[in-house]
Structure formats: structure tokens, C-alpha cells
Amino acid sequence: MPAFPHSTTSTPTAIAVPPSLSLPVIEAAFPRQLHPYWPRLQENTRTWLLEKRLMPADKVAEYADGLCYTDLMAGYYLGAPEAVLQAIADFSAWFFVWDDRHDRDIVHRRPRAWRRLRCRLHAALDSPRDHLHHEDPLVAAFADSMVRLYSFLPRTWNTRFAGHFHDVIEAYDREFRNRTRGIIPPVGEYLALRRLTFAHWIWTDLLEPCAGRELPDGIRKNPAYRRAALLSQEFAAWYNDLCSLPKEIAGDEVHNLGISLIKHEGLTLEEAIREMRRLVEKCVDAFLVAEADALRFADGLDDGTARGRELSAAVRACVRNMRNWFSTVYWFHHESGRYMVDSWDDRSTPPYVNNEAAGEK
């Protein structure tokens, strides 16, 4: 079936989802939507990638649109003001490029380069304006993203977001050490680390500028709200692992739920895939219950005051976008060239990365 009632491409085609990855409940119960700003979003992010020198011009021209990074964000943060969505989409594109740099530093055994980048990102996160013209394009582009994202909500939100992203950087460092040492984490340890490397709380934090206000701690930490947020992100992380398993096996990865199940639970590849599907489907079912609880919680915030009405509306907007994460993540994995391993010349080397940068051969 088509992913969109109106496709994001000029030649709409039905998306063929492999049976092992097909989730009929997503296709039936989570209709996909797209922010109306999407066409300009795609164009502007493509331009930003070039201006910030995050990808070579030939890679941008050949691969940027097909990677569908803007589609992913335009399907998630519905209702966001255009400037907010643009900042999030550029940051998301940066995140994927950073993930690729991290991967290449591992593959080409460059621990000093990774440590240097890690320290620079921590510094840019705390004082982005001081790093806007950094010599490393990845650092400068990150600083640009942070200046923009920090402009939408109060300092308290900025501090929380920065704290969450410091944790993400450190999680990437733990993944670097695991991969360079060939350490496959046990399932429980892997799932805890995955919540950080997938940046669960970063994408959840970004729901708030889209809704137009920072949520008080008491709302964000309410069990109903927090469980719905966590389940939406767990689905995305686990489904990503399911879809990227062939790519990561080809690249000698050690960080994947399926790989941990095979190593530590003694499952075969086929059994691991079935177990990952079971966990993903269970997550969807649990979200449907949590979503209803979170919406009831939102309704209860409306106490007849202006503040109560505004908080209720903001929470409902955030929960609606948690739902959107399911469909946009699902279709992204079947549209993006990031996961089309069988079409690559070398299954261990994505064609969209600059594999000759920084002395690589």
C-alpha cells in the first residue's frame, strides 16, 4: 500500500514491505501524515547540508533526498511552527551524519579522532555560539543547530536538553569502546544503552517546542505521560534494530538487539528476528493503552483556567505526535536508502558516507 495518500516523491509507488518487517497494525491503525511544510523543509535541509559542508556536493545531489531524513521529521512533529520544524530537521540530518562519522571512526580505528570530536561536542553543547565557526564542519553545524533549538523555549528547557545530549555523547563513547573491543552487551545492558544512543529523551524533549511551551516537571514525569513517551521511542529503536540487522551484521556491528539475543540468549538468526518482532508488536499494543491513559491525563489538566486549558492542549499535542512517531519510523525504514543494503556495492560501506575523509581509504 502507499505510505502516503499523497507521496513525497514525484512518482508515487506502492512500498513493498518485506514480510519479516511488515506490521499490519501500523499500516491499519497509525495513518501516516505529513507536515505541509515538507517540500520546503527538504529543500532547505539539503541546502543546509551543503552550506555546513556536512556531505560532499556529489553525495548531497545523489543521496540526500533518497535518505528521507526530512520525511522522518515531517511525519513526526506535526503542528510545529515552520522555524521549529526546520531546526529539528537540520539537527536530525546532522545526527545521522554524526552517527556515520562515529561509525567510520570505529571502522578505521581512529580513537584519538573520536575522543577529540567527543570533547568538542560536549563543549559546543554548553556554549554553541563559541563554536559556530569551528574548523570541524560537524562541530560548527552542531553549534548552529543548538543556537537555533535553544532559541524557542526558556533556559530551563535548554539546560534539560543539554543534559540529555551530554548523556547521548557519553553513550556513543561506550558504544565506540564496545565496538572497537568486540564486546556484545547482554540484552538488558544493551537496551539501557540503546535508550541513550537512540536519544529517546532528546526526541521527546523536542515535542515541547513543537507544542509551543515547556512542560512542567510534574507533567513530564507523570507516569501516564512518561510511559507513552518511552514506548513510542522504544518502538522506534527496536524496529530500527530489526530493519538494520542485515546492515549491521555486514558491518561487524556489536550493538543491535538481534545480535545480543544471538550472542547471549543462544538464539539463531531466525529466532532472534521472531523475538524482535514479538517485542516490537508488544510495544505497539502497550502504547495504545498508554496513549489512552496519557490523553485522559491531558483532559484532567483542563481545570477551567487559561493555564489549565493551555497545558491540556500542549500535552495532547505531544501525545498525538508520539503516535505519529510509529508510522513515520515504520515507513522511513522502507523508503530510506540508509537501509537498502542489497543495493550497495559494498554491504559494509554505505554509499552516502565520505569514506575517504580524514585519511580514510
Is the per-residue pLDDT at 7 higher than 80? no
Name, in order, each residue with C-beta under 8 angstroms of 101's C-beta and a sequence gap of 6 or more: 117, 138
Is the per-residue pLDDT at 8 higher than 50? no
* Average pLDDT of every residue of the chain: 92
- The conformation of residue 10, written as its DSSP 8-state character, comes to S
Is the per-residue pLDDT at 165 higher than 80? yes
Is the per-residue pLDDT at 310 higher than 50? yes
354 grid coordinates = 565520505
pLDDT per residue over 86-134, tens digit each?
999 999 999 999 999 999 999 899 999 999 999 999 999 999 999 999 9
Contact 74, 161 (CB under 8 A): no
- The conformation of residue 11, written as its DSSP 8-state character, comes to S
Contact 184, 248 (CB under 8 A): no
- Confidence at residue 355, expressed as pLDDT on a 0 to 100 scale: 67
- Confidence at residue 9, expressed as pLDDT on a 0 to 100 scale: 44
Banded pLDDT at 303 (limits 50, 70, 90): very high
Name, in order, each residue with C-beta under 8 angstroms of 324's C-beta and a sequence gap of 6 or more: 30, 33, 75, 76, 77, 78
Q: What is the mean pLDDT of residues 32-48?
A: 96
Name, in order, each residue with C-beta under 8 angstroms of 217's C-beta and a sequence gap of 6 or more: none
Report CA-CA distances (Å) from 326 to 154, 157, 238: 29, 25, 11
Is the per-residue pLDDT at 338 higher than 80? yes
Report CA Rg, the chain. Answer: 20
Query: Residues 275, 20, 283, 286: what is their CA dihedral angle, to the nearest 10 degrees?
Result: -110
- Confidence at residue 11, expressed as pLDDT on a 0 to 100 scale: 37
Q: What is the mean pLDDT of residues 154-183?
A: 97
- Confidence at residue 125, expressed as pLDDT on a 0 to 100 scale: 98
Is the per-residue pLDDT at 5 higher than 80? no
Report the alpha-carbon distance of residue 202 to residue 198 in Å, rounded. 9
Query: Residues 330, 141, 319, 193: what is their CA dihedral angle, to the nearest 10 degrees?
Result: 70
Is the per-residue pLDDT at 189 higher than 80? yes
19-23, 40-44, 225-229, 243-247, range with the lowest pLDDT = 243-247
Task: Give percent of the chain above pLDDT 70.
Answer: 94
- Confidence at residue 361, expressed as pLDDT on a 0 to 100 scale: 37
Q: Which residues are catalytic?
A: 95-96, 198, 338
242 exposure class (CB count in 10 Å sphere: 0-12, 13-18, 19+): buried
Is the per-residue pLDDT at 358 higher than 80? no
